[in-house]
Amino acid sequence: MPTATAALEVENLTVDFKRRGTTPLRAVDDVTFTLHPGHTLALVGESGSGKSTVVRALSRLITPSEGRISLAGAERTRPAAYRSAVQMVFQDPFASLNPAHTVAHHLRRPLLVSGAATRADVDARTTSLLDSVNLTPTADIARKRPHELSGGQRQRVAIARALAPEPDVLLADEPVSMLDVSIRLEILGLLDRLKEERRLALLYVTHDLATARHFAADVMVMYRGQIVERGPSDEVILRPRHPYTQLLASAAPGAAGSRERAREARAARLAARGSRSAELREPADARDEGCRFRARCPFAMERCAQRPPVVELDGTGHASRCWLEAAPD
């Protein structure tokens, strides 16, 4: 639903990858969400669930098979304007920086190309970017090459580079998962501060529920291309309703109490819904309409082979895409 405060709207995004001799792989299936200025939305899911494919579609590195991605402000649809407005931070800062170039070079280029700086003020703008990501003394850092920096410093350079064109939207794809555990929270704290100061619409992609809950107002849980549950972070992570989210939450360290809650929820549902059908198989076809989780789901029923409904659970925006939530026939 279009709103005045949307920075980026994604409607029914679907991405298929062709596979030789078989049906295409549907890596992203009918995903809809909105990013708002000054807000963080977390996209969580295990490896292979399609998170990076969403990010690549939003960065226009790949063309969606279906759906619409629209940036606030009509002029922003021009390719160069879109590229400036939607910036990315990747998992591996070393791979995303050029070993031959200095830090200053990495920042000057996007400043000049995007028009965010002129030749006259590009040095001052470079210094101010380094300052804003706490890379000081700025003059020393500016002269260095990526291999002379620590992993955390490299990721700060990658963040500064993403900020150079003055984006509205920042897509951070597992931005700390390759960094030392000891500096992860610092980098996430930095992204959080920059989001506030610059009113960035931040998409935080992670497999880590604990940091998703801490840094994101809202969470979407993805499983094999589909958003299975979404809503305010505390709702989704502390009171998960979809069996897949319950599984994730019960396995997550630091999600205190969720294991107990998930077990109770499971027991209650089993009692209420009767036992599962034994006849369920792993979906063979990527275009399978049914719930992708049904082969692993302790509650799977016959009708899970049909497209599950997205059910709003309360007034908070918490929704689960699951037949368990549907009104009984």
| 96-117 CB burial, b ≥16 within 10 A, e <16 | bbeeeebbbebbbebbeebebb
- The residue from 40, 53, 153, 233 that contacts ligand ADP (CB under 6 A) is 53
Residue count of the chain: 329
Q: Is 52 in the site for Mg ion (CB under 5 A)?
A: yes
d(CA 239, CA 245): 9
Size of the site for ligand ADP (CB under 6 A): 11
Q: Is 115 in the site for ligand ADP (CB under 6 A)?
A: no
Q: Is 226 in the site for Mg ion (CB under 5 A)?
A: no
CB distance 308 to 322 below 8 Å: yes
Say which DSSP state 275 is in. P
DSSP 43-112: EE--TTSSHHHHHHHHTTSS--SEEEEEESSGGGGSHHHHHHHEEEE-S-HHHHS-TTS-HHHHHHHHHH
**Shortest separation between residue 205's beta carbon and Mg ion, angstroms:** 7
Whichever of 171 and 265 has its CB closer to ligand ADP, that residue is 171
* Token duo for residue 267: 């027991």
Whichever of 15 and 160 has its CB closer to ligand ADP, that residue is 15
Sheet holding 226-232, edge to edge: 86-89, 169-173, 201-206, 40-44, 218-223, 226-232, 319-321, 310-312
Q: Is 182 in the site for ligand ADP (CB under 6 A)?
A: no
Residue 116 amino acid letter: A
- Rounded to a whole number of angstroms, the distance between the first and last alpha carbons of the chain is 29
**Shortest separation between residue 292's beta carbon and ligand ADP, angstroms:** 12
d(CA 98, CA 79): 24
Q: Is 110 in the site for ligand ADP (CB under 6 A)?
A: no
Site for ligand ADP in 32-51 (CB under 6 A): 45, 47-51
**Shortest separation between residue 183's beta carbon and ligand ADP, angstroms:** 22
d(CA 199, CA 127): 21
Which of Mg ion, ligand ADP, none lies near 45, with the C-beta cut-off 5 to 8 A by kind? ligand ADP
Q: Which residue is nearest to ligand ADP (CB)?
A: 52
**Shortest separation between residue 281's beta carbon and ligand ADP, angstroms:** 19
Whichever of 25 and 81 has its CB closer to ligand ADP, that residue is 25
Q: Is 178 in the site for ligand ADP (CB under 6 A)?
A: no
The β-bridge relationship of strands 201-206 and 86-89 is unpaired
- The residue from 17, 139, 263, 287 that contacts ligand ADP (CB under 6 A) is 17
Whichever of 51 and 292 has its CB closer to ligand ADP, that residue is 51
Whichever of 43 and 305 has its CB closer to ligand ADP, that residue is 43
Binding site for ligand ADP (CB under 6 A): 17, 25, 27, 45, 47-53
Q: Please give the residue ranges that form the binding site for Mg ion (CB under 5 A).
A: 51-52
